[in-house]
Structure 1
Amino acid sequence: MNRAILSPSRLCGSVTVPPSKSAAHRAILCAALARGKSRLSNVSDSEDIRATLGAIEALGVQVCREGETLFLDSSGKWEDEAEIDCGESGSTLRFLIPILAGLGVDARLTGRGRLPYRPLGTYLECLPPHGAILKTKGGLPLTIDGGLNPGVYSLPGNISSQFITGLLLALPLLPGDSRIELTTPLESAGYIDLTLAVLQSFGVTIQPTDSGWNIPGWQRYQPGEYTVEGDWSQAAFFLAAGALGGELSIHGLRRDSAQGDREAASLFRQFGAQIRWQGDVLLVSGSSLCGIEIDAAQIPDLVPVLAATAALAKGRTVITGASRLRLKESDRLNAMTEGLTALGAKVTQSSDGLIIDGAERLSAGVAQGCRDHRVVMALSIAALRGGEPTEITDADSISKSYPNFFAEYNRLGGKANVI
């Protein structure tokens, strides 16, 4: 494990955000299910993406990487049995479970970090009545036996959207029509919109209903070419850096993206940042920031960086609707409370969010990164207006999603020494 020592600075210049990890996971699995040759462009190399690639290779898919382009050949025979290491990737694990059951693959899934302890209960409730046999002592390892039958799948809408996405990926393969019925309002809807957009790109039809989706069976994924768009959740760190006194041109984003985290632009405008589009480039610069109220139910991944910004915005920011953050790579509500408090911020927790009273500057201190990539990156943004020196532990955890984060941070004028 390493740590980052940071000094106050400003980030200025031009940056291209990394490809969307969320879109890449979905595209890789769709291409694997397409039973042919596909080309995926603009796919970053991160630990989570490597976990998904390792999973499809274990199933018999041939993968060749040339730079940021992947060539996938899924025309061969599927493996009947597989041992799959999901690393620390919740997307890999939760997307694969119904897919493996739908394909009739006998599989054993393992993982590391907090992943073995993250909830799987939704699948344990909704998959066995449809034929899947799941064996677990409460988390990982998990074994899957038996197939999956079409039918009506009922589950809450306020769970992780990864469960819903897993079903949307798997159910079109079944020999009959299925339906997903949500028993509570949908949260993180942007991630489901992204799933539906990627499915459409690979020739799969999903029909929305008032309470969920109808999924025709007997469908065949179509191989082809797909380009992964830029990642709005990673762009949020640079939007925050610009809002806190920097001046940045952010490249690689789609204005019409299905990613829910595109809401970041609107939220930083509400804080008071100067944000505008110039063609396909998003420009952000600092201004006087004021606290705001944020319902995070649809944008949970943005909460760490929003909290870091709020700690340096005049007045009070109240974040609600984020209770699911306690079940991520860390308890992110607690991690951001303790990390920002260690740097002199005034933060208290509620059951589902944070209350933050902003200050002009933070102080020097040691903040725990909690082995969580988003926590480390968010605290690094707060350190732009911290004391000297500021130390953040577990700096290497950024490799989970954005291995080049500190390199870009320093290239743009930041002062981060990773030891």
Structure 2
Amino acid sequence: MSQAIVAPSKLCGSVTVPPSKSVAHRAILCAALARGISRITHVADSEDMRATLGALEELGVQVQREENVILIDSSGKWEDEAEIDCLESGSTLRFLIPVLAALGISAKLTGQGRLPYRPLNTYLECLPPHGAILKTHGGLPLEIDGGLIPGEYELPGNISSQFITGLLLALPLLPGDSRIRLTTPLESAGYIDLTLSVLHDFGIHIRSVEGGWEVPGWQQYQPRDYTVEGDWSQAAFFLAAGALGGDISIHGLRRDSAQGDRESAALYKRFGAQVEWQGEVLTVSGAPLCGIEIDAAQIPDLVPVLAATAALAKGRTVITGAARLRLKESDRLEAMTKALTTLGVAITQKPDGLVIDGVPKLSPGTVDGYNDHRVVMALAIAALRGSHSTVITDAISVAKSYPDFFKEYNRIGGKANVI
């Protein structure tokens, strides 16, 4: 078991955020669905990226890796059958299921950690009526057979956006027009905007209509060179570190990004931090922070780090709209509640969120990282304002999305000893 022993400190300096994992997943899959060679640059290594690239190699796609560049050659034929280990990557699993069904590929999908237990009911309900045969005992392993046909696909909007993205990737391949109709209001809209943006860049056109999308069939993905932008969800950890008394310049972000987590800049301003753009560099420095109200329906991945910040902001912070966090790599509402309670914070769980009354400093303690990369990174940020050292278990889980997190953390003044 790994752990991080984190002493109080301040983070000051410049960081370049890693490439967006969300964008990279989408671009790599689009490149694989194109006929020809695509060059995807600014791709960071992580366990989730390895899951998607490994899946494509199992399917017969030629993948060449050169430092932070991925060459995707999909000019050959995909395999008719495959067995794919999605590791712990929900994106890999949920993006691939409808794509494999659209291409008529027989496949067995497996996974590691909590992934086999994460819900797939949305696909089990909406894909079989359109020709896909899905065999499962409730999670993974999942066997796919048959082939999708065009039509109207109905699903809730208050589910993981990964399900909707999977359909948006798959339906343009079908021999006829389709429609996605949402039965409830859309949450995590930023991730869908991101999907539509990347699809457009690879030559796929989808029309947004009231309550969903119209997806023309018979479309062909186009190969291209593509550069992955910086990751706003990872930048949020450094925004929080700056807000909690540091002074940080963040490089590599797009102001006009379609990533929903760009909202983090505005949220940290609302907490009271000094946040501003200097050219293309986002700067953040500490100031007295006060609790705020946050609707997290469109920004669920930010909740752990927002909770860590709220724990050290004066007054009360109320976070709502986050029920889906109970179905991530961990139950993130439960994980943050238990950890912050151990560290002396008054925090109450609600079915869809958290109520947090901030404290000036955290009490010392040992807290569980739940093998969840976002929980571990959020707790490392909170530990900057500990009264003594904080011990966080499962520190190595940051490799899922940001293997160099603690290296960067220590480079700009952090005191994290990872064992």
Cα distance in 1 between the residues matched to 2:364 and 2:253: 34
Equivalent residue number for residue 331 of structure 1: 331
Aligned to 1:212: 212
2:252 aligns with 252
Q: CA deviation at 1:343?
A: 1.1
Q: Secondary structure at the match of 1:230?
A: coil
Matching residue's letter, 2:224 = G
For residues 220 and 380 of structure 1, what CA distance do their matches in structure 2 show? Answer: 45
**Match of 2:120, as an amino acid?**
L
1:91-135 deviations in whole A, cap 9, x for unaligned? 000000000000000000000100000000000000000000000
Structure 1 gaps of 5+ residues are none
**Partner Cα distance (1:154, 1:358) in 2:** 42
**Residues 1:282 and 2:250 aligned together:** no
Identity of aligned residues (%): 78
Question: What is the CA–CA distance in structure 1 between the aligned matches of 2:385 and 2:413, rounded to whole Å?
Answer: 13
Q: Is the 8 A contact 1:43 1:68 kept in 2?
A: yes
CA displacement at 1:387 relative to structure 2: 2.7
1:11-410 matches, cutoff 5 A: 11-410=11-410
Q: What one-letter code is carried by the residue in structure 2 that aligns with 1:108?
A: K
Give me the whole-angstrom Cα distance separating, in 2, the residues matched to 1:236 and 1:335. Answer: 19
Q: Per-residue CA shift, 1:30-54, capped at 9, x if unaligned? A: 0000021000000000000100000
> Residue 402 of structure 2 aligns to which amino acid in structure 1?
Y
CA RMSD of aligned residues (A): 0.4
Partner Cα separation in structure 2 for residue 346 and residue 402 of structure 1:
29
| C-alpha distance in 2 between matches for 1:298 and 1:77 | 38
Tell me how far apart the structure 2 counterparts of residues 105 and 251 of structure 1 sit (CA, whole Å).
Answer: 41
CA contact (8 A) 1:7 1:383 kept: yes
- Cα distance in 2 for partners of 1:335, 1:279 equals 38
- Mapped to 2, the partners of 1:408 and 1:341 lie a distance apart of 27
Aligned residue for 1:55, secondary structure, equals helix
Quick one: distance in 1 between partners of 2:66 and 2:106? 31
1:354 aligns to what SS in structure 2? strand
Question: Partner of 2:5 in structure 1?
Answer: 5
**1-side partners of 2:296 and 2:111: how far apart?**
28
In structure 2, C-alpha distance between the alignment counterparts of 1:205 and 1:188, rounded to whole Å? 21
CA distance in 2 between partners of 1:147 and 1:186 (Å):
27
- Contact kept? 1:174, 1:218, Cα under 8 Å: yes
Give the Cα–Cα distance (whole angstroms) in 1 for the partners of residues 320 and 8 of structure 2: 29
Partner of 2:56, secondary structure, is: helix
1:154–1:182 CA contact under 8 A, matched in 2: yes
Matched residues in 2 for 1:396 and 1:21: separation?
18
The runs of at least 4 consecutive aligned structure 1 residues that moved more than 6 Å come to none
CA–CA distance in structure 1, aligned partners of residues 144 and 43 of structure 2:
29
Alpha-carbon distance between aligned partners in 1 of 2:58 and 2:223, rounded to the nearest angstrom: 19
Show structure 2 runs of 5+ residues with no match.
none
Deviation at 1:363, TM superposition (A): 1.2
Compute the displacement of 1:345 (Å): 1.1
Matched residues in 1 for 2:78 and 2:11: separation?
48
Q: Distance in 2 between matches of 1:405 and 1:387?
A: 23
Letter in 2 for 1:287: A
Cα distance in 2, alignment partners of residues 257 and 250 from structure 1: 15
Letter in 2 for 1:11: L
- Deviation at residue 341 of structure 1 after TM alignment: 1.1
The answer (yes or no) to whether the contact 1:239–1:268 under 8 Å persists in 2 is yes
- Separation in structure 2 between the aligned mates of residue 387 and residue 396 of structure 1, nearest angstrom: 24
Deviation at 1:342, TM superposition (A): 1.2
Q: Provide the aligned length of Structure 1 versus Structure 2.
A: 419
Q: Distance in 2 between matches of 1:43 and 1:346?
A: 40
Q: Is the 8 A contact 1:7 1:386 kept in 2?
A: yes
Aligned partners of 2:98, 2:115: CA distance in 1, in Å? Answer: 17
